[in-house]
Structure 1
């Protein structure tokens, strides 16, 4: 059936938090040695891994991790502990890195993000953004004029549901006003984003590669499903 609406994940799909060496200038490991490129890359992975837990957490912090995308305070608590266990020296430096993570201005759109959003909106296709997240990502779109092409944002911390719970997909499908069977979900995680299939949506997977390494992933996914 023809696609009438497209739902996009945010992190690793439309935007990505890119590695910037300047963030790690003053960071050192336990013996005072500056972090090397591999250690910096691992820190970035731990900051942005949407599902995989990368450290051992006690019961209190594990609970915060499990519910991090429902509450900003829990999100902060879980990630500060992850950064601490990842070797970030001191609360001040961990807080500085965390502020980067939750600042929409630090996120980089994929090369084809703007064009595909404009084309979808121009063709009359309804467009939504659906994210497991604990902070407002709308400014990342507004700063680039891309908010004009988004019909609805559904963010987990605002609606009290997280992917892959079918409820959060139903919320966005209903707001977009298209039948589930005519709606395509595009995301970078088979389990979380692929949960859209449980309510009858189509699903397309994109790889959460660095932005320079995925110039046309969104367009390819849309074309595969006849949405562009």
Structure 2
């Protein structure tokens, strides 16, 4: 087996939406009290969890949850509801927090993201980014000078498929011009990203820890498959 292409997940893999005290500290509960650290941490988990439903929902919002990464309007609708159900009662606070969630400039790369992408490309291995997402993440790479090292992006809301549907992995492999047996998928979700295994791809799981706690998870995964 020779790895000819690596497909990277985005959230929790290459980048992470970090808990930022400068704007979470502005949030208040319905009685006007500030959110404590535990509540802030739980809120960020709910806003970034790759799989699994984070709050109970009515039928209307259940549909939005299941299709959130296919339609930006549904994505906004469901996450504003998640915030409301997480005791962020002020609509202005919820809107402001949501806008930060979908701002690529707010996302933090892992310490080895740049090296993982550049070193993979330097070995002549194709690089793809595959994300269940409802907003354009390309600016996060462009502002760090990484776009030129990525051969293809595939974003669920642009294609109409989400991981672990096999079509989404196949679409990116077609863009990269590689076969499944020569492809490695790197991601933080066994359920979503691990779906690539059904097509015959290799899969490396990384832990979506805070960026300060995972200095070399990507490079370790790539080395285990002889990519870098």
TM over 0.5: yes
Instruction: Classify the secondary structure of the residue corresponding to 1:69.
Output: coil
Give the structure 2 partner of residue 30 of structure 1: 30
The residue number in structure 2 matching 1:187 is 187
Residue 159 of structure 1 deviates from its aligned partner by 0.5
Match of 1:144 in 2: 144
Check if 1:90 corresponds to 2:107. Answer: no
Match of 1:158, SS? helix
Aligned to 2:113: 113
Residue in 2 that maps onto 1:11:
11
Aligned equivalent of 1:99? 99
- Cα distance in 2 for residues equivalent to 1:2 and 1:160: 30
Confirm or deny: 8 A CA contact 1:27 1:89 kept in the other structure.
Answer: no
Match of 1:207 in 2: 207
Task: Tell me whether 116-125 or 60-69 shows the greater mean CA deviation.
Answer: 116-125
The offset of 1:178, in angstroms, is 1.3
Q: Deviations over 1:89-125 (max 9, x none)?
A: 2111100000010000000000000011111111110
1:124 is paired with a residue whose SS is coil
Instruction: State the shift of 1:52 in Å.
Output: 1.6
For structure 2, which runs of at least 5 residues remain unmatched after alignment? none
Distance 1:59 1:137 in 2: 29
Contact 1:107 1:140 in 2 (8 A): yes
Q: Hey, what does 2:129 align to over in structure 1?
A: 129
Q: Work out the CA distance in 2 between the residues paired with 1:24 and 1:218.
A: 28
Aligned-pair CA distance for 1:33:
1.8
Check the 8 A contact 1:5/1:176 in 2, yes or no. yes
Cα deviation, residue 51, structure 1: 1.1
**CA deviation vs aligned residue, 1:183-221 (integer Å, no higher than 9, x gap):** 000000001000001111000000000000000000000
- The SS at the match of 1:133 is coil
Query: Aligned equivalents of 1:146 and 1:18: distance in 2?
Result: 20
Instruction: Give the superposition deviation at 1:26.
Output: 2.4
CA distance in 2, matches of 1:106, 1:159: 24
Q: Is the 1:8–1:130 Cα contact (8 Å) retained in structure 2?
A: yes
Aligned CA RMSD, in angstroms, stands at 0.7
Residue aligned with 1:70, SS: coil
Q: CA deviation at 1:30?
A: 3.0
Secondary structure of the 1:68 match is: coil
Q: How many Å apart are 1:22 and its aligned residue?
A: 1.1
